[in-house]
Amino acid sequence: MIQTRGGTGDDGVAGAQQGTQSVDRAVTVLEIIAGLGEASVSEIATAVDVHRSTISRLLAVLETRGLGEVAGSRGRYRLGLGILRLAGGVRRDLDVSEQGAALSAELAVRLGETVNIAVLRGDSAVNIHQAEGGGAITVNSWVGRPTPLHATSSGKVLLAALPPADLDDLLGRRLDAFTAATITDPGDLRAELAATRENGFAVTVGELEEGLNAVAAPVYGPGGIVIAALSVSAPGYRMAAAQLSATAREVIAAAADMGLRMGYLP
């Protein structure tokens, strides 16, 4: 058993349990404050059924992280603005999905293919909305499923927008092959991303699934930050590699409209 320095395996288990309990209490404290609007140390301690000193320590930590703050001079606490920072990612995804729903549906109907909106989550692209275009054979639903950045058109768009240090970190990891066409060499992928930035769109030709092609364009938000990728995917016999550039023009236009709805000013 791997042991922590200066302790036993049992010490490690006990420490993990204590850490989990602390996290649970901190979340409970936030929920209590959210429910009451404001709360005193005594009120929170009574609700959680722990000593006031324990709550005081938790509140001090929450305050340093901006998740809680003293409300005036009465010794009561309220949620801090840091809560908005944590919620921002979820709110942004919801906004992108809501604002992009109609445009995605229109694009899917116009092209007769599947349209997805994806966002960056860690080292994956996660689709948050999908619209079907009524093609004879549609691709599977990818909503909520993480997909590899280097093997998807949306992923390439999101990779191309990363700061250099973040991109270096991701490209320093293993790039798995999903088909014979998957780009697994970091140098080749960098060249692909450079073309993505220059052209304003990315493509994949059977790189995630054999016979599945896709094209994606960036969705810009306030400040010119790429907040999502809009993609169209279809079987290769319906959307051949030679057609991807023409399809890209449609995707770029729809992504630009979506960006305007999200507050992007070109």
Domain extent for 64: 9-80
- Output the pLDDT for position 88: 53
Residue 3 lies in a domain: no
Structure tokens at 15: 């420490």
Q: Note the pLDDT of residue 138.
A: 52
Residue ranges in the chain modelled with pLDDT below 50 = 1-8, 11, 13, 136
Instruction: Convert the pLDDT of each residue in 94-145 to its tens digit.
Output: 577 777 888 999 999 999 999 999 999 889 999 988 998 876 455 567 788 8
pLDDT in tens, 212-237: 999 999 999 888 889 999 999 999 99
Of 49, 80, 111, which one is at a domain's C-terminal end? Answer: 80
Sheet-wide strand order for 39-40: 39-40, 76-79, 68-71
Cβ–Cβ < 8 Å for 175, 225: no
38 and 93 fall within a common domain? no
CATH number reported for the structural domain that contains residue 47 in this entry: 1.10.10.10
pLDDT recorded at residue 7: 47
At which of 80, 101, 131 does a domain end? 80
First to last CA, the chain: 57
Same domain, 41 and 153: no
pLDDT at 87: 57
pTM of the model: 0.66
Reading the block at residue 45, the tokens are 């301690």
